Structure 1
Amino acid sequence: MLSYVTDHIPKTTPYNRRPGYSMTPDYITIHSTGNPTSTARNERAWLTNPNNNVTASWHIVVDEKEAIEAIPLNEVAWHAGDGGNGTGNRKSIGIEICESGDRQKTLQNAAELVAKLLKERGWGVDRLRRHYDWSGKICPRIFYDNGKWTGWEQF
């Protein structure tokens, strides 16, 4: 069973990373961290690191060991790259998949997490989106291979 930790960043976190805006999600957006050496704990720490000056955030990060919820699932996070009023940011739960460690275990954990979230909401896989679907960014890059989204289809 995947360990699920709730460790919300403060609403006072700089760069508006947790704006506190209420959200009723309609989608789940999948990302990968783009960092081959970072764990879920590292990614969570980055959100409140004083050296981080980026206005970007997400709801849950998952690795081979655990999932960490950094922003409540009923609040907006800035992860979709589609602007302050974009559907991706305003209506979807952002999940970051770590690129470090045991990739197969991490993907298994991510699939388990996403399945649980879908089931809890009575949603089908038609509610899943890639970061790419909102902004055109090649993300989650771990599912992209030579111009094809082979890994996404498998996920």
Structure 2
Amino acid sequence: MVKKKRINKKPVLIMVVILMLISLGSFYIASTHQNDVEAYQVEGLPIQHQFLTINPYSRSGKSLHRVNGIVIHYTANPGSTAKNNRNYFENLRYTKTTSVSSHFIIGLDGEIIQCIPLNEIAYASNNRNRDTISIECCHPDESGKFNEETYNSLVKLVRALMKTYHLQSQDVIRHYDVTGKICPKYFVEHEDQWKEFLNTL
């Protein structure tokens, strides 16, 4: 009579338990992180908090340890809304085409969507991601010039952030000042308008 070989189920059981603990730990970390966000609010500003899902392409969840500056961008997508651009960032977790995001997007009606908590980095300003808050601005046409509603919300938001982080107007820069990219286009091509903007802060 051939004896049946007994299978030691212990290693398999241990492996299953370990995998379950890892999954539970990841879920706990993600849940805690999602709840521990910095929803920025400013009196008189219509800020909507629509945080991106944590993913490698638009919201890494990496900590922003210090804020030394504010970087202004334009969407380079004439006529698009703040919601359109926020959804583009969100969908990158599926399309995986690039890594990009911003803390705030200001729309054509002056509405503001916060996409990334202020205690996390955004993928917007290259080597300055690690110490800056980024603001994307919508614009109605190819010139890249912000309309009055967008411009006014930008001024108010930047002033509030400067106060929050004890920054000066020289700490407010363009994406262009980081990499030489023509962004925000109108403020790069019209240096006088950029200086005028800084003078309002």
- Counting matched residue pairs gives 146
Using the TM superposition, name which of 46-55 and 115-124 deviates more.
46-55
Whole-angstrom CA distance in 2 between matches of 1:128 and 1:45: 26
Whole-angstrom CA distance in 1 between matches of 2:76 and 2:120: 24
Larger Rg: 2
**TM-score normalized with structure 2 length:** 0.68
Matches within 5 A, 1:39-50: 39-49=81-91, 50=94
Using the TM superposition, name which of 103-112 and 119-128 deviates more.
119-128
RCO (CA 8 Å, sep 6+): is it higher in 1 or 2?
1
Q: 1:57 maps to which residue?
A: 101
Structure with greater helix percent: 2
- 89, 95, 100: which one aligns with 2:135: 95
1:26-52 deviation per Cα after TM superposition (whole angstroms, max 9, x unaligned): 110000111111111111111122446
- 123, 146, 164: which one aligns with 1:78: 123
Q: Does the 8 Å CA contact 1:131/1:139 hold for their aligned counterparts?
A: yes
1:55-109 deviation per Cα after TM superposition (whole angstroms, max 9, x unaligned): 11111001223111101111111111x3xxx2x1111111001113870111011
Q: 1:129 maps to which residue?
A: 173
Whole-angstrom CA distance in 2 between matches of 1:52 and 1:149: 35
Identity %: 34
- The one-letter code sitting in structure 2 at the alignment partner of 1:75 is E
Unaligned runs of 5+ in 2: 1-43
Whole-angstrom CA distance in 2 between matches of 1:123 and 1:5: 24
Displacement over 6 Å in runs of 4+: none
CA RMSD of aligned residues (A): 1.7
Say whether residues 1:22 and 2:63 are aligned partners. Answer: yes
Deviation at 1:2, TM superposition (A): 2.4
Structure with greater strand percent: 1
